[in-house]
Structure 1
Amino acid sequence: MLAGAAIVSYLTRASISTAATTIQADLQLDAVQMGYVLGGFFMGYIWLQIPGGWLGGRIGARITLTTFALLWSLMTLASALAPSYEVLRWSRIAMGAAQAGLFAVIIKALADWFPESRRGTAGAVITGSMSVGAVIASGLTVRLLDPLGWRGAFEVYALVGVVWAVAFALWFRNTPAEHSGVNLAELKLIREVAPIRSRLHDPELDLADVATHAKDKSTVEVTSFGAVLMSMALSVSMWALCIQAFFRAFGYALFITWFPAYLEQGFGVATSRAGDLSMLPLAGVVVGSFLGGPVVDVILVRTGSRWLSRSGVAAFSLGTCALATLAATFVNNPLAAVAMLSLGALLSGLASPTTWAATMDISGRHTALGFAIMNMSGNIGAIACPIAVGYLIAHIRATNGNWDWVLYMFAAIYLAGSIAWLFLNPNQSAVVRRVRA
């Protein structure tokens, strides 16, 4: 059900990219205006990250996720009915606000439902499901445009969100202990202290069982909301987590915003084919995300190294993604370029589960808040991407410039994300401080 939330949310979030040129023609929008429409979702998304995560921690995932889904479905319908640029832009901003707390609440639910030794895989399922939703959005929207138009397609997606919300409210429970379908053996497995902990480099900072810190006189856990925020603000690892999130989200946002238009205008690809080709990088992210989860868990179990399984994997995958993106500038065939970018997207997808696992590692029982801060940082990048690319495309058109500059930008973005991971230490808590004896 949590994976379903990721799929449905990205279905409504990403479908606008495939319909972008159709919407531009219908509402008479230029590239800069469309850039602000595409970035509008993230403008709303960024501001309610922390409140949404806090709310989920207070009243639980069942109520909050149901409410979020109903609200974003309503805003999807509002987008479908938008008569002008301003109404469309503000409906997208409101949709982003409705989805703001979604993944902060989901990651808290994962921490409640999965032991540490399975968190990489659990995170991979969620991150992979995001791109599954984006892939479906690209393929389905292009097929709905002719019979239903972009407005009809959005109305269909609004209905899907309502159906998911009802099903989730009926089935899900906040904790395993509350669910009638979980037996005692399964509950014990979920709560088990994983044997890998004895092999971790800094076992006294195992955050899956924060209560142990009360017995450790060399550490102190901050608990108040303000103190937790201050502690996270002083954490180098939290800063590194947020910086990599900015660059990763900036890079990913291309594929759910301007990429179809880039193919149409940079390579002369027809709208229908651009929609289909846009599915390939997103499919690459799906494959990378699902592969990344087991890779993260296996490396952790076999080496006992959180750094290698989190920071090492992410730095390598984003660095090689930058190389693949740069390689796409050396080909002139759109299919070959998309193939290289899809390989890069797969490599970037490998880093997705590491982000979820590292957030749980350094945030402990404050995971929802830690994820909200990280995700908010990422969405600054997601806001910047469509706007920056919109201006870049307008400049390229006006000057008859080189379309490879779009890819040069994204190669640099992924390289910067790779470097940020080198400063993240998943063994060091962002909310537990050592004190002098």
Structure 2
Amino acid sequence: MQRQSDVESRVTRKLTWRIIPFVMLLYFVSFLDRVNVGFAAMTMNKAIGLSSTAFGLGGGLFFIGYFLFEVPSNLILNRVGARIWIARVMITWGLVSAASAFTAGPTSFYVLRFLLGAAEAGFFPGIILYLSLWFPTKQRAAAAAWFMAAAPLSTVLGSPISGAIMQMHSMLGLANWQWLYVIEAVPAVLLGFVVLKFLTDTPSQANWLQADERDWLVARMKEESRERESHAGHTAGALKALRDPRVLALALIYFGTSAGLYTLGLWAPLIIRQYGFSAMETGLLNAVPSIAAVVAMILWARHSDRTKERTWHVVIPCVLACIGFVFAGQADTALLIVLALVVVNVGISAAKAPLWAMPSKFLSGAGAAAGIAMINSIGNLGGFFGPAMIGWLKHRTGSYSAGLYFVGATLAVSAVVTLLLSSKEGRPAMAQAKHDH
């Protein structure tokens, strides 16, 4: 028993240090290229004639491309392996992101945002699927949390960088917003080639593990797979997963968190900027809420793994984020706005890891590839509707408040659907938590 515990400890440590920092770096770059449009907008919108409505629509069109290509992309990844497919994703999205520097008006802005979504489709669910192949169940929420912590970290570190670039003067015929796209696209292309060398597709191919470590991990993952398959309600087929009501429910839950996340990514810099801050000051202030979000995400995911409870670990943060958006809609000073954004960031970030630990409880194989991609693709439509509604309501009312209330409402829906899903499965979360203790 001691021997097995020793092997498990060594494997966990090696997986954590080998895989997590690298996939975090990939997501960091991905998220930066996704939301740097919020900083580019400071001068781009006026330069190419984008209204608030057009910017919100174009910013959200990313997710339409993402939605259409997500499931096919993840099924291809499941067939050819993460190493080749993630490399392809990164190189193509980097090239499209760089091409965004040559946006000339609303139409080209719409087209390039759509293409960026299509190019990146499959990255996030592909990594979630990849982590489920390597990390045993009891470490899965924490692994997902570390990976997803790259999104708020991207805001923490990327916001000041983007703010600094936006203070550049024109060079070589390119404005500051154009340089922003070009400079921040380069790492994606370079890392795409690194993926080909560094990533290992499956545990059985992990030459960086010792033989006993590799054998233990392969046996553990096979044992967990057999346990899932023996349970009633298990789904392994791709088509069956796409029709599974639980997959659709999780997609609806994720819709609210995505609406909140990308509202922050696209609009938070502009909301802060309206109080008269410089681009650099805006970047620094925009980083503050994300620092709190990273800490909350990791601690909350560890608590979820330790208690083996998921439902309330999703519900509570969604309610918190909803309250934060209502607070932001009523805030009338820069300090109150930043405080509201802290509450929102903490809530949205904390909900994500426990949510993504749920699908692997009833999905495997092609079913996991299709189901996880479906949850992400439908859920990420929230990233279209949230920013688009903010822009449309800002144009109609002259204020951000109505849009912030709308996004808060989507998170309230997420909390309710999570409770209904738990109730329908006959596993009330509180009773489950007491049983596990």
- TM-score category of the 2 structures, normalised to the smaller one: 0.7 to 0.9
Confirm whether residue 65 of structure 1 aligns to residue 65 of structure 2: no
- Structure-to-structure mapping, 1:134-213, within 5 angstroms: 134-147=155-168, 149-191=176-218, 193=220, 209-212=224-227
Q: Distance in 2 between matches of 1:95 and 1:339?
A: 32
Q: Distance in 2 between matches of 1:3 and 1:47?
A: 25
Confirm whether residue 114 of structure 1 aligns to residue 135 of structure 2: yes
* Residues 201-242 of structure 1, C-alpha deviations (whole Å, 9 max, x = no match): xxxxxx97343577x5x8486554333433x1xx3x323211
* Partner residue, 2:37: 16
Tell me the TM-score normalised to structure 1 length.
0.84
Aligned residue identity for 2:281:
R
* Residues 286-333 of structure 1, C-alpha deviations (whole Å, 9 max, x = no match): 232222221111111xxxxxxxx2111111121122223333455432
1:428: Cα distance to partner? Answer: 5.7
Tell me the TM-score normalised to structure 2 length.
0.84
Q: Distance in 1 between matches of 2:282 and 2:404?
A: 17
Work out which of the residue numbers 270, 284, 289 in structure 1 matches 2:297: 289
After superposition, the Cα gap between the structure-2 partners of 1:52 and 1:277, relative to the gap in structure 1 and judged at 3 Å, is same
* Partner residue, 2:64: 43
Higher deviation after alignment, 90-99 or 274-283: 274-283
Q: Is the 8 A contact 2:101 2:182 kept in 1?
A: yes
1:278: Cα distance to partner? Answer: 2.0
Q: Distance in 2 between matches of 1:30 and 1:139?
A: 25
After superposition, the Cα gap between the structure-2 partners of 1:175 and 1:427, relative to the gap in structure 1 and judged at 3 Å, is farther
After superposition, the Cα gap between the structure-2 partners of 1:428 and 1:211, relative to the gap in structure 1 and judged at 3 Å, is farther
Q: Is the 8 A contact 2:234 2:363 kept in 1?
A: no
Confirm whether residue 259 of structure 1 aligns to residue 260 of structure 2: no
- Structure-to-structure mapping, 1:228-307, within 5 angstroms: 228-230=241-243, 232=244, 235=245, 237-265=246-274, 267-300=275-308
After superposition, the Cα gap between the structure-2 partners of 1:152 and 1:345, relative to the gap in structure 1 and judged at 3 Å, is same
Aligned residue identity for 1:263:
I
1:192: Cα distance to partner? Answer: 5.6
* Residues 151-181 of structure 1, C-alpha deviations (whole Å, 9 max, x = no match): 1121112211112111111111101221221
> Could you say what secondary structure the match of 1:351 adopts?
helix
Q: Give me the CA root mean square deviation.
A: 2.5
Q: Is the 8 A contact 1:213 1:220 kept in 2?
A: no
* Partner residue, 1:416: 413
Q: Is the 8 A contact 1:248 1:417 kept in 2?
A: yes
Confirm whether residue 130 of structure 1 aligns to residue 151 of structure 2: yes
List alignment gaps of at least 5 residues for structure 2: 1-21, 170-175, 427-437
1:98: Cα distance to partner? Answer: 1.0
For these two proteins, the number of residue pairs brought into alignment is: 398
1:427: Cα distance to partner? Answer: 11
Q: Is the 8 A contact 1:2 1:126 kept in 2?
A: yes
Q: Is the 8 A contact 2:255 2:410 kept in 1?
A: no
Confirm whether residue 380 of structure 1 aligns to residue 381 of structure 2: yes
Q: Is the 8 A contact 2:285 2:338 kept in 1?
A: yes
Q: Is the 8 A contact 1:127 1:353 kept in 2?
A: yes
After superposition, the Cα gap between the structure-2 partners of 1:60 and 1:31, relative to the gap in structure 1 and judged at 3 Å, is same
Q: Distance in 2 between matches of 1:35 and 1:378?
A: 18
Q: Is the 8 A contact 2:166 2:279 kept in 1?
A: no
Aligned residue identity for 1:381:
G
* Partner residue, 1:432: none
Q: Distance in 2 between matches of 1:134 and 1:208?
A: 39
Work out which of the residue numbers 99, 103, 106 in structure 2 matches 1:82: 103
Between the two proteins, what is the percent identity of the paired residues? 22
Q: Is the 8 A contact 2:256 2:407 kept in 1?
A: no
1:268: Cα distance to partner? Answer: 4.4
